[in-house]
Amino acid sequence: MLNHIQKLIFLLVLILVGCKTEVKTHEIQPQSSIQTSCDRAKLDAKTSFENENYTFTIYGLNLSSLKKQYQYKSLYDSILLSDYKVKYKQGGCVISDYTTCYEKELKRYVENKYGKDYLSIAKSKALTIYSKTEEYKTKVLPLLKRDTIFNAIEPAEYNKRVNRSETITHFIKNKLGEEISNSKISFQYILYKNGEIEIIKFYSPENIKEQEKIKTALENLPQLDPAYFFTEPVNSYQNYRLKN
């Protein structure tokens, strides 16, 4: 058993080192080479679009969200494929200049054809169908009715998390001034479905008085956009860190 664990650790180290090596090699590419790579990517994206090959790549560690435990994910993927011929595949850990240009150009073509809101439309259609299934009624609704506090929120909510953090940062700096806002501030909080927050654990600062100042300052924080689980707003655990 120990040997298996050691082998796994060794493989992970090799992967991480490989990723870093690729990144460093990629960083020193001359500008002319990057431009040539991007031009080629745009031509390839045009060819893919003309052949109706709308395949996008997800890079990095494929962290599954809570929704992927349910039939909704496969339903959403099937709607994207049947209605828009769009599908996703898992990529590696390094995003090259070619890849960046290719994905951006293909996205532009697809959005020009279907509209920039086609993903939202597909999601809404999938949710409408899924909300009528037995699985939704027996597994999802009970969670919502219990006011469960969710740990996992879908990756699509990344922009919402950024907006929440920016709102909190702006409020802290306005209320407490630069002296405390320039210190290291990090905490976990519950974001309730009504948009209010409750700090439940401080990682920093360790000083109790400073913690109380932060809590008091955030008492009048405007309501934030809550997290959603399928069709309903939910209570969720969130983390905040002040970036100086």
Flag whether pLDDT at 207 surpasses 50: yes
Distant-in-sequence, close-in-space partners of 214: CB < 8 Å, separation ≥ 6: 172, 176, 180, 185, 187, 199, 202
| Identity of the residue numbered 15 | I
pLDDT tens across 38-77, in order?
999 999 999 999 999 999 987 654 444 555 668 888 899 9
CA distance 3 to 15: 18
Given the structure tokens 């920016």, which residue do they identify?
166
Domain boundaries, the chain: 35-142, 148-241
DSSP E strands: which ranges in 134-231?
A: 149-150, 186-191, 197-204, 227-229
- Give the per-residue pLDDT at 22: 39
Residue 149 reports pLDDT greater than 80: yes
Contacts 24+ apart (CB under 8 A), 29-37: 29/97, 34/97, 37/96, 37/97, 37/98, 37/101
78-92 pLDDT tens trace = 999 999 999 988 777
Let me know: does 237 contact 190? Beta carbons within 8 Å: yes
Q: At which residue do the structure tokens 């994905």 appear?
A: 103
Q: For 191-197, what is the mean pLDDT?
A: 93
pLDDT of residue 153: 57
Where does 148-241 sit in CATH, by number? 3.30.1150
Percent of the chain with pLDDT over 90: 40
Q: Indicate the pTM of the whole model.
A: 0.60
Cβ neighbourhood burial of 213 (10 Å; 0-12, 13-18, 19+): middle
Q: What is the pLDDT of residue 198?
A: 95
| Percentage of the chain modeled with pLDDT above 70 | 75
- Contacts of residue 199, defined as CB under 8 A and 6 or more positions apart, other chains included, come to 187, 188, 189, 214, 215, 218
